[in-house]
Amino acid sequence: MRSKNKSITDSTDKGEEEIFENFKIDLSGLKPGVREKATELAKEMMKSGMPKEQAITKGIQEAETWFLESQG
């Protein structure tokens, strides 16, 4: 069982790794906190029925905005 404190991007859960396999390049260029937020947002969007590619793209955009706004 995976620890609740473990990051999604650090997870060894194959299901989550496979979800984001085709987007590693897009996610790898992000700061760790932004990458984690993007992954979290994308997962929530996919749970709501948004297509995977759209959810990941939008998750990255929203995470970058979140990061810039949090830097004040």
pLDDT of 4-47, one tens digit each?
A: 333 344 433 445 567 677 777 677 888 989 989 999 999 999 99
Residue 2: pLDDT band by 50, 70, 90 thresholds? Answer: very low
Contacts of 57 (CB under 8 A, 6+ apart): 26
Short-list 35, 27, 25, CA closest to 66: 35
Domain spans in the chain, listed from the N-terminal domain onward: 31-72
Q: Is the pTM here over 0.75, yes or no?
A: no
Instruction: Measure the CA–CA gap between 32 and 50, rounded to whole angstroms.
Output: 24
